[in-house]
Amino acid sequence: MKGKKATLVIGGDGEMKDSLEEFTNLLEMDGKVQFTGFIPQHELGDYYSSADLFVSPSVSEPFGLTITEALQAGTPVAATENGVGEIISDEYITSIEPDSDSIAEGIKQGLKQ
């Protein structure tokens, strides 16, 4: 993805937010990552529909509501295996492992959809 213009949007105020912001600063990627904080329910659809890809690298999400919301908005999804895989066909989701190489490859594949 070198040479591609992209912005990573990270929503939420979870326990990793501060660490992720510090890591972003360390890598000097301030202009390429946007931290939104908490996103109200009534605004989520706008975020999903404006995204080129929704990435869910979760290792412990039992169902994956955010994945189904992104798919409903028509946004391609790259996600780790979780409960949503039991009801949604692999043809709709680019499967990734929770490691950086797999996530990077999943992003490349997902953006081709």
Terminal C-alpha separation, the chain: 15
Parallel/antiparallel/unpaired status of strands 77-79 and 93-95: parallel
pTM: 0.86
Residue 85 has a pLDDT of: 67
Q: Please name each of the domains of the chain with its CATH number.
A: 1-38 (no CATH), 46-113 (3.40.50.2000)
Question: Looking at the chain, how many residues does it have?
Answer: 113
pLDDT tens, the chain, 113 aa long: 566 788 999 999 999 999 999 999 999 998 899 999 999 999 999 999 999 999 998 887 777 789 999 999 999 999 988 767 667 877 889 989 989 999 999 999 998 87
CA 8, 5, 43, 24 torsion-angle sign: positive
Cβ-contact 113, 94 below 8 angstroms = yes
Of the candidates 5, 20, 18, 4, the one whose C-alpha atom is nearest the C-alpha of residue 57 is 20
